[in-house]
Structures are given as structure tokens and as C-alpha cells.
Chains A and B, each alone.
Chain A
Amino acid sequence: MDNWEYLVAAYSIIWIAIAGYVLSLSRRQKRPWREIESLKARMRGKGED
């Protein structure tokens, strides 16, 4: 039985999904850093760091 297309499809989907999830994690990890910077700026504005 030669069903290469099914094998390629399965492994491609697995790696695309895992890469997509890793990418989404890395994007979401930037959010708290940005918020901390904005909080720092707020506090500096009030003369406290």
C-alpha cells in the first residue's frame, strides 16, 4: 500500500500545530513584560520606582 500523502499530511499537521502553539506561547509571553514596563512608567510618573 502506497499512501505517502496521508503520512505527509499527518506529520505536517502535527508539526504545524505544535509550531503554531509554541508561537502563540511566545507571543503571549511578551504581554506581561509590556504591562510591567507600562506599570513602571506609571509609578515613575508619580516619583516612585
Chain B
Amino acid sequence: MQILKQNILSTSALFALLFVTMTAALFLVFVYVPTEATMGIVQRIFYFHVPLAWVAFIAFGIVFLGSILYLRSSNRKWDRLAHSSAEIGMVFTTLVLITGPIWAKPVWGVWWTWDARLTTTFLLWFVYLGYLLVSSFASDESQGARYSAVIGIIGFLDVPIVALAIVLWSTQHPEPVMSESGGLTGSMLLTLMVSLAAFTLLFAYLLIHRVSLATAADEVRRLRQFADERDYDG
């Protein structure tokens, strides 16, 4: 209980910062930034679509590191961190897969095409779905954590493939925004940067709460086991 209370207090400042940054991002997206000449109003989806993908990559990077540390140490805290990050990464990847087609329909004329970026992102979603299912359905908790850690390490290989897909293969997906031909004006770049900051803060906020939830659940399980052993039921 004390852990949860401390967490609520320590995340208040983060929440305030998140609120300010997210409000600024929404202002920039809907009021400040000019409408892109070719794609029109629908291009504004980009300012949240890219940060969603960015956060998913950070989340899966944390899964990768947490999985390595768990396999090395068998310390449950690394599994809790990796599992929490994978769950949030899945939420954000799902949103990437939904907002991408909503942008693509008016611009490309189709909801979906099996080009390299889209296909590898779709694959990424299935990899981490597998990660979450393995840890949820394993009969033995530590065995499930070990198996999912292996998926968390191997599955991360797909992240650089997704990131580099538009460079490695000829795709319909727009070019990297930071490249010379990516062509973002100053105001567009500022809007994107503020959105990236806002979503990174959102991720940090969600991760702190998710890890705290996992820690509390583990603690309760340990206490229940202790109570069962001491036969408190009589």
C-alpha cells in the first residue's frame, strides 16, 4: 500500500509536465502548424502517428534490456519491467497500425498495402502479442518469464528492420522525416518534436504505474503464499 501511495505522489510532477506538454502538442497540431500542401488536413495525423511508433520502439527496447537482465539475474523486477513495457508497447503499436491506414486511405486510396514498413510493423505486433501470451498462459511463472524473455530478445530484431524498412526496400511509406528529402518545415518539425516529447512523457507515466501494479500484484501473491503456509484460514 505504501509503495502505491508513494508512487502516486512521485508521479504527480510527471503528470503535470505531461499535461502541459500534451496540451502544447495539441495546440501546435490543431492551431499552429500550417496545413501541408499535398496531403491536406489529413497529414496532421502524422504528428501523433510518428510519436506513437517512437514510443513503441522505446517500449520494446526496454523489453529487450529487461529480458536480458532477467535471464542474467533471475530477478523478478526485470521481468516486471519488461512485461509492463511490452503491454504499453502493444497498445501503442496497435494505434500505429490503426492510424496508419486512416492516413493511407485518403492519400494512397487504399487502407492497407503489404509493403515492407507495414508488413514488418504488423509482424512486430504479433511478436509482442506472443510475448504477452507466453507469460500469461505459462503454467509455471518463472518458466513463462524465461520463455517470454527469449521472445523479448529475439523479437527486438524486428524493431531496426521496421525502422530501416523504408531505406532497405522500395516502399510506399513516406521517407524518414529527418532526411534531406523528408522536407519538414521549421513549424512542422517543432510540432513533431513537442509531440514526441509529450508521448515519451506519457509512456514514462504509464510505465511507472504499470510497473507499480505488477510489483503490488507480486507482493500480494507472496503475502498470500505466506498466509497459506502459516494456515491463517485455520
Chain A residues packing against B (C-beta within 8 Å) = 1-4, 6-7, 9-11, 13-14, 17-18, 21-22, 25, 28-29, 31-33, 35-36, 39, 42-43, 45-46, 48
Can you identify 21 A-B contacts, CB atoms within 8 angstroms?
A1-B39, A2-B41, A4-B41, A6-B102, A6-B103, A7-B41, A7-B42, A7-B44, A10-B102, A11-B48, A13-B95, A14-B52, A17-B94, A21-B206, A25-B209, A29-B209, A29-B213, A32-B220, A35-B220, A46-B232, A48-B232
Complex interface: chain B residues within 8 A of A6 (CB): 42, 45, 102-103, 105-106
- Contact status B99-A10, CB under 8 Å: yes
B77-118: which have CB < 8 Å to A? Answer: 88, 91, 94-95, 98-99, 102-103, 105-106
Among B94, B206, B219, B220, the one with the most A-chain Cβ atoms within 10 Å of its Cβ is B220
Q: What is the bound-complex CA distance between A35 and B218, given in angstroms?
A: 12
Q: Contacts A3-B106, A13-B99, A25-B213 given: A36-B223 contact, CB under 8 Å?
A: yes
Complex interface: chain A residues within 8 A of B227 (CB): 39, 42-43
Complex interface: chain B residues within 8 A of A45 (CB): 232, 234
Known: A13-B98, A17-B98. 14 other contacts (CB 8 A): A1-B40, A2-B40, A3-B41, A6-B42, A6-B102, A14-B52, A14-B95, A17-B91, A18-B91, A25-B206, A33-B216, A36-B1, A42-B232, A46-B232
Complex interface: chain B residues within 8 A of A18 (CB): 91, 202
Chain A to chain B: the 7 pairs with minimum beta-carbon distance, closest first: A1-B40, A32-B216, A3-B42, A3-B106, A10-B102, A42-B232, A10-B45
Count A/B pairs, Cβ under 8 Å. Answer: 90
The interface residues of chain A, by DSSP majority, are classed as helix
Interface bin, chain B? 35 or more
B198-216: which have CB < 8 Å to A? Answer: 202, 206, 209-210, 212-213, 216
Q: What is the bound-complex CA distance between A1 and B44, given in angstroms?
A: 12
Complex interface: chain B residues within 8 A of A10 (CB): 45, 48-49, 98-99, 102-103
Complex interface: chain B residues within 8 A of A29 (CB): 4, 209, 212-213, 216
Q: At the interface, yes or no: B233 with Cβ under 8 Å from chain A?
A: yes
Please give me the residue from chain A that is nearest to B44 by CB atom.
Answer: A7
Tell which of A25, A35, A46 touches B224, judged by Cβ atoms closer than 8 Å.
A35
- Contact status A1-B213, CB under 8 Å: no
Q: At the interface, yes or no: B193 with Cβ under 8 Å from chain A?
A: no
